[in-house]
């Protein structure tokens, strides 16, 4: 599984999270992050994806946000802080 979280555009930052399944050749949308941001670090351990740092505003900004998403449960499971 490949996870894509957050993004930056001229309109602001994004909280969107998507998962790609190579076996199904399909993307699905997961629950949004509580903290929209870009340039974050994403690491998976078992069925939990940890999303750390990133910038809450476009450009050079930083966040101390550290949130986790259980991708093994339902496709829309909310994130824990």
Domain range summary for the chain, segments of one domain joined by +: 2-80
User: Model's pTM, two decimal places?
Assistant: 0.79
Count of all residues that appear for the chain in the document: 81
The alpha carbon of residue 46 and the mean position of all alpha carbons in its chain are separated, in whole angstroms, by 16
Tens-place pLDDT, residues 17-73: 998 989 999 999 988 999 999 999 999 888 888 999 999 988 888 999 999 988 876
């Amino acid at each position: 599984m490949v996870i894509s979280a957050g993004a930056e555009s001229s309109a602001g930052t994004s909280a969107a999270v998507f998962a790609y399944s190579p076996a199904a050749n399909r993307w699905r949308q997961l629950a949004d992050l509580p903290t929209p941001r870009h340039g974050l670090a994403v690491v998976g351990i078992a069925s939990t994806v940890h999303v750390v740092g990133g910038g809450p505003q476009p450009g050079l900004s930083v966040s101390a946000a550290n949130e986790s998403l259980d991708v093994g449960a339902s496709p829309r499971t909310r994130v824990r802080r």
